[in-house]
């Protein structure tokens, strides 16, 4: 902007001087006057006056890089537990305790192998037979007293409603519970946890 003003002023001055100096001759053409005016400018201003006006280039638009979602890892799926027979028992490897009613025996199982037993048991008498099936341990009660029969049930491990492993007579049948010796009852009490599978077979 400044260069244009200076150029305009010089052109006017140059034209005025040329016009006043041309008394007897022909008036200079507009082109000659402009060239004369430019010659009066310093070299830097001459280049600016002669150089064609180039419009400023607009900045290139900023294009955002496409957002690429991170790959979602595949969910880890645990391999299904395959139940297999545990050697020496009638139960499968997913059980933690095994009861065989026909032989009056019980075992503890860990990692698909017998960890304790077999130990002798007694089960439910006629009218109170211990039902076969697979159940889970629900709770423990070390010094349990039966609210129905008002009888002590030390080291109780309940796994099917009111049916539990506990210390009891090995010569008399129960009202459905699994009687164990004191030593075995303590072992079952300390080994089994809530949620463990108890398998009862005929």
Point out the residues that are catalytic: 166, 177
Quickly count: other Cβ atoms within 10 Å of residue 155's Cβ: 23
Distance between alpha carbon 47 and the CA centroid of its chain, in Å? Answer: 68
Closest CA to 117 of 140, 152, 89, 90: 89
Reading the block at residue 141, the tokens are 């009660």
- Listed as own residue / partner, the contacts of 161-170 with beta carbons closer than 8 Å and 24 or more positions apart are 163/130, 163/131, 165/97, 165/106, 165/189, 165/192, 168/122, 169/122, 170/120, 170/121, 170/122
For the chain, report the end-to-end CA distance as a whole number of angstroms.
108
**Any idea what DSSP says for residue 145?**
E
Contact indicator for 144, 153 with CB cutoff of 8 Å: yes
The phi and psi torsions of 31 (rounded to 5 degrees) equal -65, -40
């Amino acid at each position: 902007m400044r260069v244009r003003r200076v150029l305009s002023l010089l052109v006017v001055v140059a034209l005025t001087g040329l016009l006043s100096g041309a008394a007897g001759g022909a008036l200079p053409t507009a082109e000659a006057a402009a060239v004369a005016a430019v010659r009066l400018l310093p070299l830097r201003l001459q280049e600016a006056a002669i150089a064609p006006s180039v419009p400023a280039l607009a900045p290139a638009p900023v294009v955002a890089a496409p957002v690429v979602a991170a790959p979602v890892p595949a969910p880890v799926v645990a391999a299904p537990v395959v139940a297999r027979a545990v050697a020496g028992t009638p139960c499968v490897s997913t059980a933690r305790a095994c009861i065989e009613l026909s032989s009056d025996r019980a075992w503890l199982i860990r990692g698909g192998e017998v960890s304790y037993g077999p130990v002798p048991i007694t089960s439910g008498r006629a009218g109170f037979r211990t039902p076969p099936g697979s159940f889970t341990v629900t709770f423990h009660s070390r010094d349990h007293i039966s609210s129905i029969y008002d009888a002590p049930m030390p080291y109780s491990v309940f796994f099917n409603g009111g049916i539990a492993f506990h210390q009891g007579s090995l010569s008399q049948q129960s009202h459905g519970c699994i009687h164990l010796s004191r030593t075995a009852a303590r072992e079952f009490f300390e080994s089994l946890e809530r949620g463990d599978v108890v398998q009862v077979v005929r």
